[in-house]
Amino acid sequence: MRGPAAPIPLMLRAMSERFEVMPGAEPWSSPGSGSRSGIGIVVSHGFSGNPTATRSLGEALATRGFAVEVIRLPGHGTHWRDMLSVRYADWRWEMDRALGDLVRRGKRAILVGLSMGGTIALDVACARPDQVAGVVPINCTILTREGFLARAAPVLEHVLPVVPAGAAGLIKNDIAKGGEEHAYEVVATKAGNSFLKQLPRIRAGLETLRVPVLVAYSPQDHSVPAENSRALSKMLEGRDVKELVLPRSYHVATLDHDFDLLVDEIAEFADRVGRVS
């Protein structure tokens, strides 16, 4: 199956964003320190979100010595209008770019992603098994979404440029402990559908995935049903896959009650798969 279409060139991508990045939504990085500095971790947010949801995770991993790149996907963290001109290929390009940067710096790279960010991480790992040491998808989407809106998406994208986030199945601040992730209140239908169209290809590609995977998920996720993560574990059965259940958290587990557990388990995973044999 074909991969996503080529992304917008860098200069045009920059021009397509007409709004300033919101405070707290900026990308963030750390070079790493000590014995863990040779392990690099890319951390990505999900669809309609921004680094507000993932920076604390990146900072916690950096505190432990890992090199970290918390990325901001194109069109996110500014204004929903910037989502009108971006597609899945642009988001995957950004993770590819961060991965390539870590590899050029001599790091053993691990990809961590929340929601759609986890799906992109799996996609990139399938394409670059020689560059990726492991993947941690957190509450990722892997199954085709159900419901009328998902089925009608190919038609709706030509009729409605945006829909309310709730209509797209995205629950505002799906965080058990409370908090604000500053995700968009409306979503661009063509951008969202560009992701949904890739899911069959990504699922098929998992047959070739051979890098270790830590599947983290919240049984009480109201945005991406936990069945996605359980199905992912089953698809990878017989390979190096481990499930991490986050029992006290909702969808945005990176800002929720199980945050410390998530950090501990990712650090342990990174130590194991990031070792140079």
- Is 105 within a domain? yes
Q: Are 269 and 214 in contact (CB under 8 A)?
A: yes
Query: β-strands 28-30, 67-71: how paired?
Result: antiparallel
Q: Can you say whether residue 221 is alpha, beta or left, with left for phi > 0 and alpha for psi between -120 and 50 degrees? A: beta
- Contacts with 246 (C-beta within 8 Å, 6 or more apart), sequence order: 216, 217, 218, 219, 253, 256, 258, 261, 262
- Is 159 within a domain? yes
Question: What integer pLDDT is reported at residue 158 of this predicted model?
Answer: 61
- Is 246 within a domain? yes
Q: Residue 268 has what DSSP assignment?
A: H
Residue 269 structure tokens: 């995973």
Query: β-strands 186-188, 162-164: how paired?
Result: antiparallel
Q: Which residues pair with 215 in a beta bridge?
A: 243
- Is 4 within a domain? no
| C-alpha span between 111 and 96 (Å, rounded) | 10
In the chain, how many domains are there?
1
Torsion angle (degrees, nearest 10) of CA 135, 137, 143, 146: -160
- Is 1 within a domain? no
Give the 3-state secondary structure of residue 239.
coil
Sign of the dihedral through C-alpha 75, 80, 85, 86: positive
Q: Are 140 and 214 in contact (CB under 8 A)?
A: no
- Is 175 within a domain? yes
Question: What integer pLDDT is reported at residue 6 of this predicted model?
Answer: 52
Query: β-strands 39-44, 28-30: how paired?
Result: unpaired
Of 21, 91, 73, 24, nearest to 52 by C-alpha is 24
Sign of the dihedral through C-alpha 88, 81, 171, 261: positive
- Is 107 within a domain? yes
- In tens, the pLDDT along 41-76 reads 999 999 999 999 999 999 999 999 999 999 999 999
- Is 5 within a domain? no
Residue 239 structure tokens: 């390979």
Print pLDDT tens along the chain (277 aa). Answer: 445 655 544 444 444 788 999 999 999 999 999 999 999 999 999 999 999 999 999 999 999 999 999 999 999 999 999 999 999 999 999 999 999 999 999 999 999 999 999 999 999 999 999 999 999 999 999 998 765 455 555 656 666 777 888 877 789 999 999 999 999 999 999 999 999 999 999 999 999 999 999 999 999 999 999 999 999 999 999 999 999 999 999 999 999 999 999 999 999 999 999 986 5
Q: Are 30 and 68 in contact (CB under 8 A)?
A: yes
Query: Which residues span the domain enclosing 261?
Result: 10-273
Residue 60 structure tokens: 């916690």
| C-alpha span between 90 and 72 (Å, rounded) | 11
CATH of the domain at 234: 3.40.50.1820
| C-alpha span between 72 and 70 (Å, rounded) | 7
- CA count, 13 A, side-chain hemisphere, 71: 31
